């Protein structure tokens, strides 16, 4: 990797890791608001706003994830591992689903995106589990052209890796779907 690309990778690693931490903290607050909303059976103003803008939010979150994965792999030359490819499958398809749903204002899309996000989330959690040093429960789909799933490409702030970023991204998409269903804006 050239010096320019290395500087870009360092910049992206730092700020995307920081953004993932912030989004993760927001997701925790989001979960608390959802639980409280279910318990009290009252609507929450923030959750209502999120529900109203859920289609563009889902589109922009998913397209940002897609563009960033493509920047890392195609521009910076950081090869994705086998589990990363599986996570991409469940993320990339959501860009098209959210884009079409936003265009048609079809809020029923959240049933489908919830399923895709849950599967992507499970794969990302397992990938994080592997990168924390635990033994494989299932073999990593390592192909000759990819890297080992258990070896982190980078480690920022002592715990943030690509799979952890993916966990946070899929968690936010799951929470988005749950929020829309909770507020019955389908």
Listed by start position, the domains of the chain span 3-182
What confidence tens digit (pLDDT) does each residue in 160-179 have?
Answer: 999 999 999 999 999 999 99
What confidence tens digit (pLDDT) does each residue in 64-95 have?
Answer: 999 999 999 999 988 888 888 899 999 999 99
**Short-list 108, 124, 132, 128, CA closest to 170:** 124
List alpha helices for 41-161, DSSP H.
45-52, 54-70, 82-104, 109-131
> What pTM was estimated for this model as a whole?
0.91
């Amino acid at each position: 990797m050239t010096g320019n690309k290395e500087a870009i990778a360092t910049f992206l690693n730092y700020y995307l890791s920081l953004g993932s931490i912030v989004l993760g903290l927001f997701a925790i607050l989001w979960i608390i608001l959802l639980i409280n909303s279910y318990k009290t059976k009252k609507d929450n103003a923030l959750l209502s706003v999120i529900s109203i803008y859920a289609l563009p939010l889902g589109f922009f979150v998913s397209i940002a994830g897609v563009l960033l994965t493509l920047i890392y792999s195609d521009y910076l030359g950081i090869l994705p591992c086998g589990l990363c490819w599986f996570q991409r499958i469940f993320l990339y398809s959501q860009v098209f689903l959210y884009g079409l749903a936003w265009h048609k204002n079809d809020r029923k899309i959240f049933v489908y995106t919830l399923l895709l996000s849950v599967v992507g989330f499970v794969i990302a959690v397992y990938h994080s589990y592997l990168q924390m040093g635990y033994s494989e429960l299932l073999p990593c789909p390592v192909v000759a052209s990819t890297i080992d799933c258990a070896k982190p490409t980078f480690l920022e702030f002592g715990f943030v890796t690509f799979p952890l970023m993916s966990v946070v991204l899929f968690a936010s998409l799951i929470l988005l779907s749950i929020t829309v269903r909770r507020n019955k804006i389908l």
